Amino acid sequence: MDIVSHRLVSRRATAPLAGRIAVPGDKSISHRALMFGALAVGETRISGLLEGEDVLRTAAAMRALGAEVAHEPDGTWRVAGRGVGGLVEPADVLDMGNSGTAARLLCGVLASHHLFAVMTGDGSLRRRPMRRVIDPLSACGARFAAREGGRLPLAVQGPKEALPLEYRVPVPSAQVKSAALLCGLNAPGITRVEEPEATRDHTENMLRHFGATVQVEEAGRGRIISLQGQPELRAADVAVPGDPSSAAFLTAAALLVPGSRLTIAGVGLNELRCGLYATLGEMGADIVVENRRMQGGEPVGDLVVSYGELHGVDVPWERAPIMIDEYPVLAVIASHAVGTTRMRGLKELRVKESDRVNATAALLAVNGARVEIEGDDLIVHGDGRALPGGGLVETDMDHRIAMAALVLGAATDQPVTVDEAAFIDTSFPGFAALMNDAGAVLSPA
Ligand code: S3P
C-alpha cells in the first residue's frame, strides 16, 4: 500500500459536464461494515465497499485481529467474524495509514478486548490528536501509552473485563462517539454516550442492523445513545451507498462549469451528512434528488446537478457537524459565487488530515481568490467570474484539499496543479478518470 507520488493538473473544461456517473462507496459506512462484520458471528457480505487505501487499512487490521476478510471474484467482500469479545491479539503493529476514522474507531474496538496492540499511521495521522479517544476509553479499564500530546504510535492493553462507559463527548465528533460505542459492545451493562450536537449516525444504524439494542434520545441539539453491552451481533449483509462526500466534488464541478447537467447515481443521503446540499440550496443551486429509496438502512437517491448562478451565504456554525468534510469544496464553489460566503465555527476542520482552514484558504489564495480567516471562520469573496488560477497547491497529505483544488481548475482561466495527488486514493480511487469521464480535463503534470 505504498503511495506513488505524482502531480496532477486540472485545465478548464472545454465542454459542459454531462452524463450519469456513480461515485465509490461511502467511507464511513465501509469502515464500520468491516468492523461490525469482524465482531459478528457468521458471514457478512458487503457490496459496494469503498476500496480506497483508508478502508483497505481497516480490512487488514480486521484480518490481523483474527477475522477472515476476503474479496470475492464478484466484487463483494466477505467477512467471517469472531463475535463480540472474540478478537485475537495482533502479532504486529497495526498501520492505519492516513485514516483518522480507522484509527479512532479501532481504538474503541481494541480498548475493551483483553489484548495488547500497537497502532501507527502515516505522517498526517501521526500528528492528529488521539487524546480525544484515549481519555474516554481509559475509563473502561484499558491502559494506553502514546507519544507526547497523545499522538500515534500508541499502545493499548485491554482489561480482563471492561467496564461500560458513561461519556459526554466534548466536541461534535462521530469518531469519538463511535469509539465509545464500539468499546461498549464488549462491556457488560449499558454504555451511555451523549453528544452535544448530532453527528453522523452510521454506527447507531449499523449496531441495529447487526442486532444490538440501541436507544437514541434527542437532547437539545444533541443526542444520548444507550447501548446494551455484550450483545450477540449476527452477521448481516451491507449494501454500501455512494459516498456523499465524494459526490460533493462532482457536484461542485457541475456547478462551476457553465452549461453542465450531471446525474450522480446512488448517493447516500443520511440527513446528518447532507449539510452541503442545504447550503447549496441557499446559494441558489439547482440540485434535484430523484429516485429516493432506502438501501441497507440508509436513504439513497440520484442527484441531478445543473449549472446556474450562485450567490454567497452565511453558513451557521451549527451546520458544521453535518457538512464537516465538505468545507474545502464549498469554499471552492463560493469563490465563483456572487458575493461573500462566511463559513462559521470551523474549529474541528483544523484537526483533519491537514489544518483544512489554512489549507483551503491557501489553495484559493494561490489561485487568485479573495479569502480571509477570522478566528475559526473562513470567508470567501466572489464576483461570479472565473478565478485566474495558475496556482500550485500544496496538499499536505490531504485527499480533500487535492480534490477541491482539481475541481477548482475545471473553471479557472489558467490550470490548477496539485503537488501530490496520491492521497486521493485514500477515499476516492478513480477520481481523475471519473472527472474526465464527466468532461473535466485532469492529467499528470
Ligand atoms: C467520520 C467522522 C468525521 C469525518 C470523517 C469521518 C466518521 O470526523 O470528518 O471523515 O466516519 O465517523 P470527526 O468525528 O473527527 O468529526
Cell of 369: 481568490
**What are the residues facing 217 on neighbouring strands?**
224
What is the β-pairing status of strands 238-239 and 43-47? parallel
Q: How far apart are CA 327 and CA 329, in angstroms?
A: 5
Q: Which of 107, 109, 200 to mutate to test the pocket of ligand 1 (most atoms within 8 A of CB)?
A: 200
38 near 67, Cβ under 8 Å? yes
10 near 415, Cβ under 8 Å? yes
Give the per-residue pLDDT at 296: 77
The ligand 1 atom nearest the CA atom of 348:
16
Which residue is closest in CA terms to ligand 1's atom 16? 173
Q: How many angstroms separate the alpha carbon of residue 303 from the centre of ligand 1?
A: 23
Q: How far apart are CA 391 and CA 393, in angstroms?
A: 6
Q: How many angstroms separate the alpha carbon of residue 199 from the centre of ligand 1?
A: 9
Inform me whether the pLDDT recorded for 116 exceeds 60: yes
Digit-coded pLDDT (tens) for 356-388: 999 999 999 999 999 999 999 999 999 999 999
| Secondary-structure class of domain 27-227 per CATH | alpha beta
Supply the DSSP symbol for 124: T
Any idea which residues carry the catalytic annotation? Answer: 325
What average pLDDT does this structure show over 264-273? 98
**Share above pLDDT 70 across residues of the chain, in percent, rounded to a whole number:** 99
What is the β-pairing status of strands 416-418 and 8-11? antiparallel
Q: How far apart are CA 376 and CA 285, in angstroms?
A: 26
Domain with CATH 3.65.10.10 in the chain: 8-25+241-444, 27-227
**Alpha helices per DSSP H over 40-142:** 53-64, 100-111, 131-138
**Phi/psi of residue 116, each to 5°?**
-110, 135
For ligand 1, whether the C-beta of 173 sits within 6 Å is: yes
Which residue is closest in CA terms to ligand 1's atom 11? 28
Residue 332 identity (one-letter amino acid): V
Strand order in the sheet with 441-444: 392-393, 416-418, 8-11, 441-444
Digit-coded pLDDT (tens) for 388-437: 999 999 999 999 999 999 999 999 999 999 999 999 999 999 999 999 99
Give the per-residue pLDDT at 232: 96
Helix, strand, coil percentages (3-state) for the chain, rounded to 5, are 35, 30, 40
Residue 154 identity (one-letter amino acid): L
Angle between helices 131-138 and 100-111 (to 10 degrees): 10
The ligand 1 atom nearest the CA atom of 28:
11
For ligand 1, whether the C-beta of 101 sits within 6 Å is: yes
Of the listed ranges 36-40, 215-219, 292-296, 408-412, the one predicted with least confidence? 292-296
Give the per-residue pLDDT at 176: 98
Give the per-residue pLDDT at 3: 64
CATH 3.65.10.10 is the classification of domain 8-25+241-444: yes
* Mean pLDDT of all residues belonging to the chain: 97
Q: How far apart are CA 379 and CA 396, in angstroms?
A: 21
Digit-coded pLDDT (tens) for 155-210: 999 999 999 999 999 999 999 999 999 999 999 999 999 999 999 999 999 999 99
Digit-coded pLDDT (tens) for 122-131: 999 999 999 9
Inform me whether the pLDDT recorded for 14 exceeds 60: yes
Q: How many angstroms separate the alpha carbon of residue 106 from the centre of ligand 1?
A: 13
Digit-coded pLDDT (tens) for 35-90: 999 999 999 999 999 999 999 999 999 999 999 999 999 999 999 999 999 999 99
How many helices (H) and strands (E) the chain has is answered by 12, 24
For ligand 1, whether the C-beta of 178 sits within 6 Å is: yes
Give the per-residue pLDDT at 2: 57
Q: How far apart are CA 170 and CA 154, in angstroms?
A: 22
